[in-house]
A and B are shown apart, each in its own frame.
Chain A
Amino acid sequence: MERSEILNKVKEILEPYVKNEEAFGNINEDTSILDDLQVNSARLVDIILAFEDEFDIEVDDEAADQVGTIGDAIELIHGQIN
């Protein structure tokens, strides 16, 4: 799966949790999920679970902790499905 395709799916998963629409509109791999998109940190578990379902992967807690930016999320998913 291409990174751009992963990005689109990640965006779909994140959208309901995003508080900053402008940052979401300008999303790129450097965008921080918590700081820029202003996603509530309590939602991260839901987001990781959604990644697992969508991409049929398993994300352990340590790997989940490493995800700060959109690029980190894509890297994690890309690494597991390819």
Chain B
Amino acid sequence: MGAEAGLSHAEVLALIPQQVPFRFIEEIAELSDTHAVGKYTFKQDEFFYKGHFPDQPITPGVILLETLCQTGLVALGIYLLSLEMPKDEVTAYRTLFTDAEVEFSDMVLPGHEVIVHAEKVVWRRRKLRSKVQMHRSDGTLVASGTVAGMGVAT
């Protein structure tokens, strides 16, 4: 079974259940059985900028963490599932967050594009742990760590 057996980038994107205003992946640049690269540009009018912070919008770390997970766990998880089961059964599982260790090293502001690189560390029994890094498009590292999630039957 080659890499071609899995879902395409577009098919994975279409199956990601998170939607606006909680969707933080717009493009999948790379996807394999060992890694994923996703991209997102934070809009000027994201809902959380109103409060975080008034007059000084900065993307909350918790949203950056979600962004890391949507590429590193959700997209990669959907792809890995698609290598193991018929494509139409992949949607029977939803990836839920289990744990993370993450460090933030710079800010992401409205209008910034971020690129998430995720590398599979553990994939077993629908549990996925990925090493993740987020860079702004200028190459600045903004977040890094590991995230883990579990495919739960819905």
Contact = CB atoms under 8 A, between A and B. Distances in A.
B3 interface: no
B122 A42 contact: no
Interface residues of A, number: 9
A45 B124 contact: yes
A56 interface: no
Nearest to B98: A42
Interface residues of B, number: 9
A54 interface: no
A45 B128 CA distance: 10
B98 A49 contact: no
Interface string B115-143: 00000001011010100000000000000
Contact of A49 (B99, B124, B150): B124
Interface of B: 98-99, 122, 124-125, 127, 129, 148, 150
Given A42-B99, A42-B150, A43-B98, 7 more contacts: A40-B98, A42-B98, A42-B148, A45-B125, A45-B127, A46-B129, A48-B124
